[in-house]
Amino acid sequence: MRYAVLLGVSLALSVTSPASAQVMRYGVVMDAARNALAAEWTDNPAQVERAYCVTQWWTATSRNARVHASNDSAAVQKPDGRDADTVFRVLEIKPVETSEATPNGATFACPAGVPEVHTHPPATCYSDRADQCYAGGADAYSCQPSREDAQKLLDRGDAFAIVQCDRHAFVFYYPSQFAAPTPPRQDLAEVAKP
């Protein structure tokens, strides 16, 4: 209960704070690509990661039309350009060859500028050997990119990448999620010194 209250308060603060204005990114795997990925999905625990290149995709960006009221009810702030939503729509994918594929990873590459998709099998594995995996368990259906996945996305500079973790479950991830935090401003750091 205490955790829920703290979470609710922090969410409310982040939504109402003018500083929380940010670019939001969303991803959608459209019918053809989703059906192709679903057709290859298997619940077999003794499998390795598979990889794909996104061969056709497009983005749509829209400005958030809502105006934000400030603490002074008479003053109204207009969107400042940071209130933009971007939707990445994946229309087509193609399988790509992998090397060193295990249940926990695979080496592969798409051409420069072509976003990547890879699977996280629905199993928990004791090692990188497929014969030491079992269906379900603590690590099954993990849709979070690994540290290596995030670093590869940053190194490649792609607009996004995708993890498939179930027949119809996909998580898009973006470089901005993994950017280094902004260092504190020097003038504020001086004021904070005792």
- Residue 155 sits in a domain whose CATH number is 3.40.140
Assigned domain for 9 exists:
no
Any domain includes 3: no
Separation between Cα atoms, residue 24 and residue 176, nearest integer Å:
10
Q: Tell me, yes or no, whether 27 lies in a domain.
A: yes
Q: Is residue 1 one of the residues assigned to a domain?
A: no
pLDDT of residue 72: 53
Q: Are 143 and 119 in contact (CB under 8 A)?
A: no
Specify the amino acid at residue 192: A
Q: Are 111 and 53 in contact (CB under 8 A)?
A: yes
Amino acid 10: pLDDT: 36
Domain of residue 186 covers 20-192
pTM attached to this predicted model? 0.74
Does residue 2 sit within a domain? Answer: no
Whether 3 and 65 have beta carbons less than 8 Å apart is answered as: no
pLDDT in 10s for each residue of the chain, 194 residues:
443 333 333 333 334 334 455 678 999 999 999 999 999 999 999 999 999 999 999 998 877 655 455 555 555 555 555 567 899 999 999 999 999 999 999 999 999 999 999 999 999 998 888 899 999 999 888 899 999 999 999 999 999 999 999 999 999 999 999 876 666 666 655 655 56
